[in-house]
Structure 1
Amino acid sequence: MTIATQCGHELTARLLDQKSECALDACFDKILEHLTQGNHAYALLFCKQFTPQQIPNTVFTYLEETLTEADIESQVKRLEKLKPSVEVHYYHRKGIFPAKFENNILGFLVIELIEDELISPLESLIAHLLNVFVKQLSTLHYACIDPLSQLLNRQTFEEKVLSVVARDNHAAMRQGYAERRWYLAMLDIDNFKGVNDTFGHVIGDEVILLVAQLLKSSFRAEDYVFRYGGEEFAVLFPSQCPTTAFNGLERIRMLIEAARFPQVGSITVSGGFVALVNIGQTSEAVHQADQALYYSKQHGRNKMTFFDDLNIAPLEPIHSDIELF
């Protein structure tokens, strides 16, 4: 890769050409490697949910020292105290570039220095490219949002699952938790057709929105929550073991059960989940999670089922007069 001009038109165009989050991350990584000539370790931390209250996640890192959550939080607070015009802040032999969106500090780029060497004259170029990265990421992010629930939409689901299975975004997991596995959960509102039939679709939409808000507030910044379709939701999340994953999903199930919904009263959800291990295709993972969900529906609803606990051959659809969904 070569820089066509010192103002970085070609590099800007490269970033704007990326049409997926993973491709954008990889492109920015390559650009930084080129600009630093491979002589400087660097890391990018950013909150891809675009929520200032969340701690930034590691997008990629080549630093020798692990940044703890306390390190990340203190660095963000330090950057928030700087003037808005500051492009880079030098701190402990590191160049820290604030990553901003709508005047909020959502993360930072850190580049380690060699001895007392400064990054200039590339400071402005790197700051500009970081800004382009954030704006392109925001464009991709909001294109992936379901307008009703404000969760990630179905169109971005497969890309996320594939990236998790391929371990492309393993760095996004908190440092020190490499032993965790990723899980896929499918959740469905019980008896939702009855809600629409009794109260109308406007109230039905409100139920979907409120359940989505409960899900979004209950999962962590590193988790991915989707509106998969209609009243069904999907969640990608890392956990240490199936028991921990089950307990987390159970807490959310009980939270929804205890909530009160205007006019409707109480709502419950059923769910099924699967560990993303030896999964060849997205459809396979969804099929297994759906089988566990189907089992929950068949056995009383308002429960969570782990696919491996079924310990049976793939379930065949059972044709009956029972309305499961």
Structure 2
Amino acid sequence: MPRLIDSVARITGMRDRDALNVTIAEVLVDWLRPESVAIYKIVGEGDGRRVVLRARLVDGQAHIESDVARDPDSLPRLATMPYFRRCVKNVTQVRITPPAGSPVCTLFPIQNDSDVTGVLAVETRHALLPEQQRLVKGVLKIIRNLLAVLDYSEHDTLTGLMNRKTFDASFQKLLQAAPNIAAPPQPPQLPPTGQPERRSEHGEFARFAAVIDIDHFKSINDRFGHLYGDEVLLLLARLMRGSFRATDQLYRFGGEEFVVVLDWVRPDDAAMVFDRFRAKVEAFTFPQIGRVTISMGYTQIQSFDSPNHAIERADQALYYAKQNGRNQARSYELLISSGALSSKEDASDLELF
């Protein structure tokens, strides 16, 4: 019993999701003595869902994978992985029948309060006994309760996007996550797949932070009431989820201010992606209100950045967009190079509304 209590305490003491994934793997290794334990995250929505390896423990060695370090187009699609798809769709454990002499792999769904968010893969020499299966399911129930607490603290209660506190905590991890050039370990039924060559600061590819502000949002609240104002925020969050990739990070900082961290892209592609989203919002018909526009400012994230510095630069570009007609996406770096902005310009002196 003390050993079991210690295992529960180790899991519930985690607040960092990467550390939690490794702790889950370590606890299951302690109890099951498997060949390996792997934790996969399901990202995206609908038919576009993909599978990302987040943590793997083999022979007692833990390996943490980061989804922000992967090219999203290279991630395997859930639809192409029949065992994983069955586990997720039916919310049930699935045993993969191995070739003679190979480990038995058992898949378990990882759930939060509303959906299946991942898959736990346990490889053992022999099929798991009923009491071992109950142990794994018990651990996953604990994880489900813990994830509910983490989700509440990390996400905006209105839109469900991540909040400012989560952005600050995630930013340093993002800087530490170099692009993953080598092919990662693959799910049990998938053959290894390579990954396209990538350049970044590191070459052409980079990450970008964009600050989004709804134009004339105060007027929307004044004219139509806060209920419709909240509806605009909800619909904008939905448009964001449908416009950006599974590995891009979406935040609501408060009020009508949103933030996007765009994963590895070329600068020209970043400009296209942000302007395409701006146009998509402009073309959308918001119930009762009609046309709503947004202004955006974005900047390239540098390896030495802090969260505040990146947001400050994006804010300066946003404020420039606001003062120069709204309904546009502006690059801080392009504004600096053209002389339209000074790097020492104090954004607080600019008028938003």
Flag whether TM exceeds 0.5 (same fold). yes
Structure 2: segments with no counterpart, 5+ residues: 64-73, 185-192, 199-204
Residue identity matched to 1:23: A
Assess, with a 3 A threshold, how the Cα gap between structure 1 residues 175 and 98 changes in structure 2: closer, same or farther.
farther
Assess, with a 3 A threshold, how the Cα gap between structure 1 residues 169 and 119 changes in structure 2: closer, same or farther.
farther
* Alignment partner of 1:223 is 2:248: yes
Q: Contact 2:40–2:118 at 8 Å: present in 1 too?
A: yes
Superposed displacement of residue 123, structure 1:
4.7
Q: Contact 2:50–2:75 at 8 Å: present in 1 too?
A: no
Q: Contact 1:183–1:276 at 8 Å: present in 2 too?
A: yes
Residue 43 of structure 1 corresponds to which residue in structure 2?
A: 38
Residue 284 of structure 1 corresponds to which residue in structure 2?
A: 309
Residue 12 of structure 1 corresponds to which residue in structure 2?
A: 8
Superposed displacement of residue 302, structure 1:
1.2
Residue 59 of structure 1 corresponds to which residue in structure 2?
A: 54
* Alignment partner of 1:22 is 2:18: yes
Assess, with a 3 A threshold, how the Cα gap between structure 1 residues 183 and 284 changes in structure 2: closer, same or farther.
same
What is the alpha-carbon root mean square deviation over aligned residues?
A: 3.7
CA distance in 1, matches of 2:75, 2:242: 25
CA distance in 2, matches of 1:309, 1:107: 40
* Alignment partner of 1:90 is 2:96: yes
Equivalent pairs, count? 312
TM-score, normalised with respect to structure 1: 0.79
CA distance in 2, matches of 1:90, 1:67: 21
CA distance in 2, matches of 1:182, 1:131: 36
TM-score, normalised with respect to structure 2: 0.73
Q: Contact 1:52–1:104 at 8 Å: present in 2 too?
A: no
Residue identity matched to 1:28: I
Residue identity matched to 2:52: N
CA distance in 2, matches of 1:80, 1:324: 46
Assess, with a 3 A threshold, how the Cα gap between structure 1 residues 250 and 277 changes in structure 2: closer, same or farther.
same
Q: Contact 2:104–2:126 at 8 Å: present in 1 too?
A: no
Superposed displacement of residue 44, structure 1:
1.1
Residue identity over aligned pairs, in percent, reads: 28
* Alignment partner of 1:293 is 2:318: yes
Q: Contact 1:96–1:108 at 8 Å: present in 2 too?
A: no
Q: How does 1:31-180 map to 2 (within 5 A)?
A: 31=27, 40-47=35-42, 54-61=49-56, 68-69=76-77, 73-79=81-87, 84=92, 86=93, 89-92=95-98, 93-101=103-111, 105-113=116-124, 116-118=125-127, 123-167=133-177, 176=195, 179=198
Residue identity matched to 2:239: L
CA distance in 1, matches of 2:333, 2:89: 50
Q: How does 1:224-243 map to 2 (within 5 A)?
A: 224-243=249-268
Q: Contact 2:206–2:301 at 8 Å: present in 1 too?
A: yes
Q: Contact 2:22–2:56 at 8 Å: present in 1 too?
A: no
Assess, with a 3 A threshold, how the Cα gap between structure 1 residues 244 and 273 changes in structure 2: closer, same or farther.
same
CA distance in 2, matches of 1:219, 1:323: 29
Describe the superposition over 1:241-286 as per-residue Cα deviations: whole angstroms up to 9, x where unpaired.
1222222222211110001123322111111222322233211111
CA distance in 1, matches of 2:352, 2:279: 20
CA distance in 2, matches of 1:72, 1:106: 17
Structure 1: segments with no counterpart, 5+ residues: none
Secondary structure of the equivalent of 1:47? Answer: strand
Q: Contact 2:39–2:55 at 8 Å: present in 1 too?
A: yes
Secondary structure of the equivalent of 1:143? Answer: helix
CA distance in 2, matches of 1:72, 1:279: 39
Assess, with a 3 A threshold, how the Cα gap between structure 1 residues 16 and 323 changes in structure 2: closer, same or farther.
same
CA distance in 2, matches of 1:169, 1:106: 23
Residue 69 of structure 2 corresponds to which residue in structure 1?
A: none
Q: Contact 1:152–1:227 at 8 Å: present in 2 too?
A: yes
Superposed displacement of residue 301, structure 1:
1.4
Q: Contact 1:161–1:236 at 8 Å: present in 2 too?
A: no
Assess, with a 3 A threshold, how the Cα gap between structure 1 residues 161 and 67 changes in structure 2: closer, same or farther.
closer
Q: Contact 1:44–1:61 at 8 Å: present in 2 too?
A: yes
- Point out the more displaced range, 74-83 or 197-206: 74-83
Bigger relative CO (Cα 8 Å, ≥ 6 apart): 1
Secondary structure of the equivalent of 1:311? Answer: helix
